[in-house]
Every structure is written in structure tokens, then in C-alpha cells.
Amino acid sequence: MKKSFYSFLLALLPGALATLSPGTLPAQSPTPKTFDTTGIADLKKAVEAHPRDLNAHQDYIKAMDIANPGLEPQYEKWMKQFPGIATIPFALGHTYCNHESPRAKPWLLKATAINDTMSAAWSDLSFDASRWGSEEASRTYMGKAAAAAPSDPNYSFYYAMDFEFTDPAKWHTMIYDLAKRFPDNERGAQGLYWMAFRSTDTAEKIRVFEQLKTAYPPSKFNWSSSGMQGLFDVYLSLSPEKALALAKEMGKDGGWPEKTTLADNIVKARAYLASHDLKAADALLGQIKAPRYSDALELIALLKARLMDAMDKTAPAYDSLSLLSAKSPSDELYQALHQYGTKLGKNTAQVNADVLTIRDAGKKPAPPFNLGLYTSDGKASLSDYKGKVVLLTFWFPGCGPCRGEFPHFETVMDKFKGKDVAYIGINVFPEQDAYVVPFMKGTHYSFTPLRGTSEWASQTYKVRGEPTNFIIDPDGNIVFTNFRASDPHTERMLELMISSLLPQKEPR
């Protein structure tokens, strides 16, 4: 069974439910009980003896199983037997929410009708509303959770993050306020991390990462430690000397010795190139290795190409950048590639053709599909999209990373309106089918949702987790995969990937 988005969120801060402010959750036993699943009658008696004990409810629900048709009638009966106890409907609604079940909402609303200060219920309603595609309702519910428990940084964090795409100015203000109010909590560090990570302004990105470092010592806060890796990457491209100083300061844990070596080597290599000591630069760059999936991969490739060109090896420099551009295109690679191509007497069309040849060598036929539509009783086949570039994503409504990626995909797709580009999302979790149509209507996302299963996705497209993304060319071949869109840089890479498969000139 897939890890729920609710569990994903809680995992960001271990023990989040257990550490919420007093009154946030109903009373619970100190230690969850162990039981024989055949002893349902005893578990029922335990609930009736202590109807406010959330653990007693959770034991009973687990033994009954949420698919049991007798579960909801029993809770309806208990609500009549114990009026005024919000724990009763909350226990069932909370379980449904944790299982990403569309049945969560009415039970959670019953809980808040009894106790409108039950912040955990409002929080669950917020998560559930996101699955229904109602971001406005999600913000409203999380706002109620934050108001009911103003000293709880978890709800304040989630509420602030709800404004990232709808009101960026307010989002910034709320994140700064979060950091000010909770200087000793990971949530404050987490807010600054995401603000820096998502910033399109390099100067702002550096400023916020540096503030994160000062306000939340990386040795004490995990999100600050992660942020320093982001700051290192920015420094490395702009001022390797600063990256080197940061890596040394961070110490010997978390891969920082390797980063120290990397930054030191780049500083030296740039100095050798500047002084035209090509032999020393060649010896050093031949030893440099970047961490896998690191932003430094492109930086190192450009340095090595610069060295080869200086050594009158422009053709190998061109070939190396052609290979990288075919897999992970960027404006920087595009510019350098055309620079070396010009020296070799190649025009723009020839350079593009060389990259296309490399891409063609690595492409493979996309597995065909014929899947049901959510918008009608019909089906859609991959063959229906022949002649179009297809952005294909595997998702499910409870997938937080999927929902986090969709706004970035949408930004890119807006640039291809009227072009031969299709956008398809295959839901792999049929248990969440009820969410799909409301989600599409609520968010106005432009992808065509199709019906799938995790088993089919795994067997056919080798999907191992969601989101998993593919770009398929007009002839039905997979050209790009293993990519994400989470910030302006990766948005641009996706834009260039799609553009490279269209007959039009790449957007500049």
C-alpha cells in the first residue's frame, strides 16, 4: 500500500501527532494496546468504557477494518449514545483521512460541529480538501486549525505554505513570521528552506539560505542542514570560494568532506584555466567527480569542455556537451554547445540535429495503453496522441509530491497552448477514484486523467513510485524520464525537453 500524503507530511517531523499542543487531539492512552483481532467485543467494551480515548477507537477500527460495512453504523450508534463527544466521529474520520479515503470529510465535519476548536480535525479536513482539489477550502480549514492551536508550529507552517502559489507576498510575510514566532522549531527552518529553494531570484535565494543558517544552526536543525546543501550549490556556480568556505565550516558529516574536495578542486581548476596552466587543469579536472544528481554535474562538464577547447580539442568538448544536452538540456549547455559548434563550422540546425541523433539512439517505444477516461465512459489510447509530444505522469490524489509538482507542470504547459503537446495523468490508485473528477474541477489543471492501477503501472511502465514522469515523442517513443519539476530551473529543463521534440525552434 502506498504511503499516504498525510503520513508523508507527518514524517517531516517525527512524532508530529504525538507532540501537538494540549487539547489538539482527544485523550489517548500512554501506550497503544496490543490485541487479538478476534476480540472485537472486548475492544467495543473498551471504547464504551472510555469513549474519549482515541487509542481505544483506533484499536477497535483496526480490528474491524475500515472496509467493514458494520463500522459506520456502529459509530452512528455511538454518536447517539455519547452526544457531545467529538472523539467518536473524529476517530473514524481521522482513520479515513490517514487512509486517504473519500469517506473522511463527513465524519470530520461532525467532529468540528461538536468541538470547533479541535485543531487536528480541521487539519485533517485541510489535507482531505487538497485531495478533492479544493485549495480554498484547504486553506480555510488549516487556518481554523492554526487559530485553534496558535502555539502549534505545525499548523502555522502548513497554513503559511497554503499561500505559496495564490499570494506569494503573503506567503513570504507568513514564513518570516513563522520563523520569528518559532525560533526553536524545525517548522520555522522548514519554511525558510522552501522560500529559498523556490525563489527565482538568486540574490534572494542566497539571502534566505544565509538567514536560515544564522537563525537555525545546521548542527541542530535538519531543514537548515538540508538548506546548506542548496546554498553550497548556488555558491559553487557563482563563487566556488564561498562554497569551499561553507563546506569546511559544515564539518565532516553529511557528505561535506566530499563537497569540500569538490569545491577546492573547482577553485583550483578555474585558477589554472585563468592562468592558462592547461596541464595542471587537465590533471585536476580528470579527477573531479560530482555527487550523483548534483547541480555540479553541469558545472564540471562545462569546465571540462572549456579546458578541451583551450587545448585545441573543440570536437571532444562539443561531443561531451552534446551528450549531456541530449539528456538534460539547459540554456547554459545550449549556449556553450553552439559556441563550440560555431568553431567547428556547424550552424544551429546542424547542432540541433547532432543532439537529436543522440536522443534518437536512446529512445524506446512507449508501452501502449487503452485506459478509461474519468470524464466520460470512453477510453483513451496512446495511439490517439500520435503526432503529439506527450507529457505523461503517474499519480494519485493523495500523493503530496504529485500535487506539489502539478503547478510547475502547468506553468510549462501554458507555454505550449495551441501546440501539438498533450498532457496525461494516469491515476494508479483506484481506491481514490472519487477524488479525481472533483480534483480536476477544483484545480483546473489541464491534464487528461486516465484510470490505471499500481500493478499495471509497475508491470508496464516499470513505475516504482509516484510521481513518475515520461516525455513521449510524436512517434510514440519514450525520450525522457526520471525528471521532476519543482522549481524554475527544472521548469525550464522540462520546457526545453518538450521543445526539442517539436518542429518549432526552441523557445528562448
How many separate helices (H) and strands (E) can be counted in the chain?
24, 8
Domain edges within the chain? 5-162, 194-364, 370-500
DSSP string, 363-414: -EEPPP-EEEBSSSS-EEEGGGGTTSEEEEEEE-TT-HHHHHHHHHHHHHHH
Q: Which listed CATH number (1.10.3470, 2.30.30, 1.25.40, 1.10.1660) goes with 194-364?
A: 1.25.40
Cell of 212: 536560515
Give the type of residue at 170: K
Q: How many CB atoms lie within 10 A of CB 241?
A: 15
Residue 483, burial from CB neighbour count under 10 angstroms (0-12, 13-18, 19+) = middle
Omega before 467 within 30 of 0, i.e. cis: yes
pLDDT confidence of residue 228: 97
Q: For residues 351 and 358, give the distance between their C-alpha atoms in angstroms, rounded to a whole number.
A: 11
Domain 5-162: assigned CATH number: 1.25.40.10
Question: Quick check: do 5-162 and 370-500 share a fold?
Answer: no
* pLDDT computed for residue 334 by the predictor: 94
pTM: 0.85
Binned average pLDDT, 10 residues per bin, the chain of 508 residues: 36 33 46 59 95 96 93 97 97 97 97 98 97 95 98 98 94 98 98 95 96 97 96 95 97 90 95 96 88 80 96 97 95 95 96 94 96 95 97 96 94 95 97 96 96 96 96 97 88 95 63
pLDDT of residue 293: 63
Fold (topology level) of 370-500: Glutaredoxin (3.40.30)
